[in-house]
Amino acid sequence: MANDTLASLRVAPAKPFSLRQHDPGDTLGWNKEAAETELEAVKLRLDALQVRLFAEERRSVLLVLQAMDAAGKDGTIRNILSGLNPAGFHVTGFGVPGGPETQHDYLWRVHEMVPRKGVIGIFNRSHYEDVLVVRVKNFVPRSVWSKRFDHIRDFERMLGDEGTTVVKCFLYVSKDEQRERLQERVDDPEKRWKFRLGDLDDRTLWPKYQKAYEDAIGRTSTAAAPWYVVPADRNWVRNLAVAKILLHHLERLDPQLPEPEEGIEGVVVR
């Protein structure tokens, strides 16, 4: 697999970052048919490594997915996890905070859902909403959200030190492609439940969101918890890229099966 391809999606730490260097329509030099075949092979590897991670029970992985509406967060999760052992994964979606969530700091609800040892956690939205929608819609003043980049870097570094590898993907969809997908949500009765009129407000705030994403990604991509910008106008590119990114980090962890109990060898089960 061209690891260079993944490296080209990874955002370098501590450098100014611009989305202009990335193209939502990029195919990364792949073609659809080969990509779909490769995805199945990547998933077999993911399955094998996930079993080892689970058996080892020492470390965990947290994959954060962030994106504008209709970029395909749900679709990516469904696609990558289908056919894999659900016991090894834990998916959490974060919506508008409610109830006790509003009575705590913004990381409280997130920390609670960080995967336990042996498990791969996937966040559909995350603590990044607290420097994205919260910033764009002025839910808190700049003096409050601007401190959060430091909190988030520290929080993710702590998770890394304590055994949770954090990997973050921004599914980068173009405004045109989003229009088509939102229109489809309106037109298709099976998809209409996903559409809210508020999605149109977010669309009018597109440039503000892009700026907020650039700041968030640029300021929180670290060697320990990198951001990847995944081209998301084509589902098959997006799916394979995210699967490969997850696989790459699992391979780096290289989880080991635990030593068997002493005396097992030679046991005959009658």
Q: Which of 13, 25, 97, 160 binds ligand AMP (CB under 6 A)?
A: 97
User: Out of 16, 29, 86, 95, which residue is the one contacting ligand AMP (CB under 6 A)?
Assistant: 95
Partner whose binding site includes residue 25, from ligand AMP, Mg ion, none (CB under 5 to 8 Å by kind)? none
Strand pairing class (164-172; 227-231):
parallel
Interaction of residue 130 with ligand AMP, rule CB under 6 A: yes
Indicate the residue among 29 and 98 with the shorter CB distance to ligand AMP. Answer: 98
Annotate 148-193 with DSSP letters as a single string.
Answer: HHHHHHHHHHHHHHTTEEEEEEEEE--HHHHHHHHHHHHH-TTTGG
Nearest residue (CB) to ligand AMP, 42 versus 71: 71
Report the residue number, 17 or 195, with the smaller CB distance to Mg ion.
195
Which is closer to ligand AMP, CB of 46 or CB of 77? 77
Note whether 155 and 127 are within 8 A (CB).
Answer: yes
- Where are the strands (E) in the chain, listed by range? 60-67, 89-93, 120-124, 164-172, 227-231
Give whole-number Cα distances, 88 to 38, 51, 215, in Å: 22, 7, 33
Residue among 69 and 130 whose Cβ is closer to Mg ion: 69
Q: According to the binding rule CB under 5 A, does residue 202 interact with Mg ion?
A: no
Interior/surface letters 65-79, b for 16+ CB within 10 angstroms, e for the rest: bbbbbbbbbeebbeb
Residue from 77, 114, 134, 159 touching ligand AMP (CB under 6 A): that is: 134
Do 168 and 226 meet the contact criterion of CB atoms below 8 Å apart? Answer: yes
Smallest distance, ligand AMP to C-beta of residue 177, A: 17
What's the min distance (Å) between Cβ of 254 and ligand AMP? 33
Among the candidate windows 95-103, 162-170, 177-185, 212-220, which touches ligand AMP by CB under 6 A?
95-103
The reply on whether position 149 binds ligand AMP by CB under 6 A is no
Residues 6+ apart with CB under 8 A from 233: 24, 25, 173, 174, 177
Interacting residues with ligand AMP (CB under 6 A): 69, 94-97, 125, 129-130, 133-134
